[in-house]
Amino acid sequence: MDYEKYNDQPEFKAALHEMFTSLDDSILNDPKYAAVIERIVEPDKIITFDVKWKDDQGNIRVNKGYRIRFNNVNGVYKGGLRFHPSVNLSILKLLGFEQIFKNYLTGLPMGGAKGGSDFDPKGKSDNEVKNFCYAFMKELYPYIGVNIDVPAGDIGVGGREIRYLYEAYKEYSGKSDCSLTGKPLDLGGSLCRTEATGYGVTYFARGALKTYKDTNFKGKKVIVSGSGNVALYCLKKVTEYGGTVIAMNDSNNTIYAPNGIDFETMRALKEDRRGRIKEYKDLVNDEVTVLDRKDIWSIKCDLAFPCATQFELDIEDAKKLIANGCIGVFEGANMPCTLDAANLFIKNKVIYSPGKASNAGGVAVSGLEIEQYLKNEKWPFEEVDLKLKHIMKTIFKNCYDTAKELGDEYNLIKGANNFAFKGIADKMLSL
């Protein structure tokens, strides 16, 4: 695979490099897959548009909007929308490419897509966020629908944004199909979607800890980076399983709380008040130290869950974690570890799970939200949670078995990529 033509898209290039350096020779040397490789790296369609919205001073502001339909061989285009100032085509192509294989791993009929905008919801009023969401959907609504393309949330797009986006979709299209997932319950959302990604990565980790190290969460010191949707529900489930989450961060600070972080205090701070993580110190009667964002990986821990953003953990961070005795790194975010950091974990027999496998719980429950809509059913929380557990268990098994068959038991990058690439490529060849 020649990546040179993607030099101006470094994040996407990194995702291609991760995939094509991990595939087994039996795939790479098979002529029937060569043509597939050429096709699979190009999105089916890239939709770009300007989003013109009104701020509270009455000024018209402009942001870029994107939807990348990457590949629908496995089902309708499916993947989140990210609102963050860093959003560009390269990052969305990384995320859309990953989504093809992640969605295949869930076992549900979903293709890969991603979208978003360089709009920054931080510091904006509810009214401005609403104006932006309506303006964004005014451009996007003709392209989405339950039978074509179903977006959801990602960084900067949570329950509030999905509510505005879905209301706008209904208003502009006149339709009320399941064209977005992660919807609030009153708009037809699924129970357990809010929790799904954070719970899912914890279920994946539980299976991996048992299989590789015959151990569990009890008594483990755990670091969870980020403090958004994925990080919060990872904190909750890890704590329920007997682990102690001693550090979390946001894009400014890390907090270190050696006795453990309280889920409800953190949830209320981040979800209800949209506060900054350093404020946590003033909310609890316990030892809490405020550090810089990057200091998080210098703290001694048994397990790490990077749940913030791409490339937040590099090789220097990996060296520190290994030296401090960390035995497992489970990605809740999309590609948070650089490839050389990931390879160092694997080499040192630290369990390492790539995001496309271990964070698939979110999109899996999005798939279950669509299924409930199509069957006109509403499943109880426990039923969705049970299905999520089963899906995560199956993903781990498929990745682990494939890695083992390839003679590289600790390499879940190889496990995930060989299993999913072959599955997608075979479907493309059978068309």
* Beta-sheet strand order (sheet of 289-292): 289-292, 253-256, 244-249, 221-225, 303-306, 328-330, 351-353
Does 72 participate in binding ligand 2IT (rule CB under 6 A)? no
| Residue 250 contact, options ligand 2IT, ligand NDP, none, Cβ 5-8 Å cut-off depending on partner type | ligand NDP
Structure tokens belonging to residue 133 = 């969401």
Specify the DSSP element, H or E, that contains 78.
strand 76-83
Distances (CA, A) of 182 to 60, 119, 373, 385: 29, 20, 12, 15
| Residue 226 contact, options ligand NDP, ligand 2IT, none, Cβ 5-8 Å cut-off depending on partner type | ligand NDP
Please identify, using beta-carbon distances, which residue of 23 and 150 lies nearer to ligand NDP: 150
Residues facing residue 211 across a β-bridge: none
Whole-number minimum distance, CB 310 to ligand 2IT, in Å? 11
Residue whose C-beta lies closest to ligand 2IT: 80
Whether residue 198 contacts residue 234, with contact meaning beta carbons closer than 8 Å, is answered with yes
| Residue 227 contact, options ligand 2IT, ligand NDP, none, Cβ 5-8 Å cut-off depending on partner type | ligand NDP
| Residue 189 contact, options ligand NDP, ligand 2IT, none, Cβ 5-8 Å cut-off depending on partner type | none
Please identify, using beta-carbon distances, which residue of 105 and 326 lies nearer to ligand 2IT: 105
One symbol per residue from 345 to 384: x for binding ligand 2IT (CB under 6 A), - otherwise; what is it? Answer: -----------------xx--x------------------
- DSSP class of residue 325? T
Whole-number minimum distance, CB 269 to ligand NDP, in Å? 11
d(CA 165, CA 152): 10
User: Which residue of 12, 66, 76, 80 would you call a contact of ligand 2IT, by CB under 6 A?
Assistant: 80
Q: Which parts of this chain interact with ligand NDP (CB under 6 A)? A: 86, 153-156, 158, 197, 226-231, 250-252, 307-309, 312, 332-334, 359, 362
Report the site for ligand 2IT in 315-334 (rule: CB under 6 A): 334
Residues in the chain: 431
Count of residues that interact with ligand 2IT, criterion CB under 6 A: 12
Of 46, 148, 23, give the one whose Cα is nearest residue 96: 46
Listed in sequence order, the residues at least 6 apart from 385 whose beta carbon sits closer than 8 Å to its beta carbon are 192, 195, 199
Of 57, 2, 59, 346, give the one whose Cα is nearest residue 208: 346
Which among 37-45, 47-55, 75-83, 164-172 is the span making contact with ligand 2IT, rule CB under 6 A? 75-83
d(CA 181, CA 239): 27
| Residue 425 contact, options ligand 2IT, ligand NDP, none, Cβ 5-8 Å cut-off depending on partner type | none
Amino acid identity of residue 427, one-letter, is K
Whole-number minimum distance, CB 182 to ligand 2IT, in Å? 6
Whole-number minimum distance, CB 298 to ligand 2IT, in Å? 28
Does 71 participate in binding ligand 2IT (rule CB under 6 A)? no
Whole-number minimum distance, CB 226 to ligand NDP, in Å? 4
| Residue 181 contact, options ligand 2IT, ligand NDP, none, Cβ 5-8 Å cut-off depending on partner type | ligand 2IT
Amino acid identity of residue 135, one-letter, is A
Please identify, using beta-carbon distances, which residue of 269 and 303 lies nearer to ligand NDP: 269
Distances (CA, A) of 379 to 30, 33, 185, 188, 364: 44, 40, 12, 11, 15
Specify the DSSP element, H or E, that contains 179.
none
| Residue 73 contact, options ligand NDP, ligand 2IT, none, Cβ 5-8 Å cut-off depending on partner type | none
Q: Where are the alpha helices (DSSP H) in 148-226?
A: 159-173, 193-213
Give the residue numbers annotated as catalytic, written as ranges. 114
Does 392 participate in binding ligand 2IT (rule CB under 6 A)? no
Structure tokens belonging to residue 425 = 């490529």
Whether residue 360 contacts residue 200, with contact meaning beta carbons closer than 8 Å, is answered with yes
User: Which residue of 43, 65, 79, 226 would you call a contact of ligand 2IT, by CB under 6 A?
Assistant: 79
| Residue 79 contact, options ligand NDP, ligand 2IT, none, Cβ 5-8 Å cut-off depending on partner type | ligand 2IT
Distances (CA, A) of 166 to 137, 145, 150, 213, 371: 8, 11, 11, 44, 18
Whole-number minimum distance, CB 197 to ligand NDP, in Å? 4
User: Which residue of 154, 302, 331, 385 would you call a contact of ligand 2IT, by CB under 6 A?
Assistant: 154
DSSP for 415-426, please give it: HHHHHHHHHHHH
Owner of token pair 């329920």: 240
d(CA 274, CA 270): 5
Residues that bind ligand 2IT (CB under 6 A): 78-80, 102, 152, 154, 181-182, 334, 362-363, 366
